[in-house]
Amino acid sequence: MKKMLVNIVNLNREGIQIIWLIKMKKWEELGYEIYIQTGVFIERINLKGKDVYAFNAEMDELRNIPEERFTKLRYIWYALRRNLLVFRQYGKVKTGNYDVLYTLTSVLEFTLFPFFYRLFHPETKWITVFDNTVPLQGPGNKGIRFLAWVFFHMSLHLLRRADKIYVITPDLETYLLEHRFKRNQIVLTGCAVEGQRIREAVLDERYTFDALFMGRINEKKGIYDMLESLALVVKEQPNFRLGIMGGGDEPTVKAYQERIQKMNLEQNIFFLGYKVGTEKFNVIKSSKLFWFFSYDESFGVALLEVVCSGKQALVYNLPPFRHLYRHNEVIIIPWQDYAGIASKTLELLRSDELKNEAGEKLLDAFSWDVVVTKEYEALNS
């Protein structure tokens, strides 16, 4: 049986991303022994017959992972420390005779060790997912953005040693080709949603929001655009309820809450925190509309989950959405047209035309079985 080592250096209190565990489980079904490397430990995991959410909670409990509260700069330092720990495990990786190193995203802290290892062990295959670019311009702290841009371009250089780079959209495929990556390195695999969870979701009266946002509380996600639009909506519907599902770094969340108070919108906004599994999809099922005014997206998994759940979603016109949503599965709003957002929201609520039948039809097309099968076939071709 072949052995795969999955490099996960940012493991913290939230555990491993669920979509990563889903992919590991699929690779396991294809005949691989799966090991995870976190900097603290290397260990084989067995996901056969297990629920990935229960497994993630079990890992938290067993490993007693400390809670980390991050600012953006503190996270950079945390990532550097974790990488130092990973390099200390070089001997264990070497003697483990792994056939494949898999990095589930291509940010710098994930790619440093595989790049180093491949210099001395070219027989081990390195596969990775390329799921995002980092533009230099955009909202937020200019210094942090510049650092992120520099780190992104450093990771691009390291990625040239990867055997296969799995990209999730045609735009990202084009980006790598324009940056002179080899054509046979790049494989367009797409992304997916948790179909079973979506189908099993039920209405929950605690989460009957008029609109829902799901994602990081971050400037580039359009969180302040939502406040401008909400201020217009509540003039007509004072009891309008906006749910915000997700989290962010402390300074950003604090500044956002202060703006909410300044605009007298505290009674209209409900912070739900980070939700996963059944509860997450029950929140989506119970909400009427979805607001998603991100300035930059490579794919938008949260949006796809909502669309496949049959909810109407108001979004800005970003390039990836033009590829994904060709049959009016989302409602395109002009850039920062706050009045247009408010008007369309109120129109939909008044008409009660809230079901997104075109979106529901996408559910079967975005399966993790399909994605991992493409990855597997590309690695072994």
The mean per-residue pLDDT over the stretch 299-306 comes to 92
Residue 243: its pLDDT value, please? 97
Dihedral sign, Cα of residue 274, residue 277, residue 281, residue 282: negative
What phi, psi does 283 have (nearest 5°)? -60, -45
Strands (E), 68-152: 100-103, 125-130
Query: Average per-residue pLDDT in the chain?
Result: 89
pLDDT band of residue 377 (cuts 50, 70, 90) is very high
**Where in the chain is CATH 3.40.50.2000?**
2-192+366-380, 195-363
Sequence-ordered list of residues with C-beta below 8 angstroms from that of 169, at least 6 positions apart, any chain:
188, 190, 191, 298, 299, 320, 323, 324
Residue 145: its pLDDT value, please? 77
pLDDT at 61 over 60: no
Residue 67: its pLDDT value, please? 57
Residue 353: its pLDDT value, please? 77
Query: Which architecture characterizes domain 2-192+366-380 according to CATH?
Result: 3-Layer(aba) Sandwich (3.40)
pLDDT band of residue 315 (cuts 50, 70, 90) is very high
Query: Which of 66-75, 144-153, 274-283 has the weakest average pLDDT?
Result: 66-75
Interval 334-352: pLDDT, tens: 999 999 999 999 999 998 7
pLDDT band of residue 140 (cuts 50, 70, 90) is low
pLDDT at 106 over 70: yes
What percent of the chain has a predicted confidence (pLDDT) above 70? 94
Interval 77-88: pLDDT, tens: 777 788 888 888
Cα distances (angstroms) measured from residue 325 to each of 100, 187, 329, 355: 34, 21, 6, 16
How far is residue 218's CA from residue 212's CA, in Å, rounded to a whole number? 15
pLDDT at 366 over 70: yes
Return the residue matching tokens 């690695």: 379
Sequence-ordered list of residues with C-beta below 8 angstroms from that of 302, at least 6 positions apart, any chain:
214, 215, 292
Query: Exposure string (b/e) for 202-236, b if CB count within 10 Å is 16 or more?
Result: eeeeebebbbbbbbbbbbebbbbbbbbbbebbbee
Residue 60: its pLDDT value, please? 65
What percent of the chain has a predicted confidence (pLDDT) above 90? 64
pLDDT at 13 over 80: no
Question: C-alpha angle 49/50/55, rounded to 5°?
Answer: 160
The separation between CA 25 and the C-alpha centre of its own chain, rounded to angstroms, equals 18
CB 160 within 8 A of CB 181: yes
Q: Which residues, in sequence order, are bridge partners of residue 172? A: none
pLDDT at 263 over 90: yes
Residue 340: its pLDDT value, please? 96
What phi, psi does 227 have (nearest 5°)? -65, -40
Residue 80: its pLDDT value, please? 78
Indicate the CATH number for domain 195-363. Answer: 3.40.50.2000
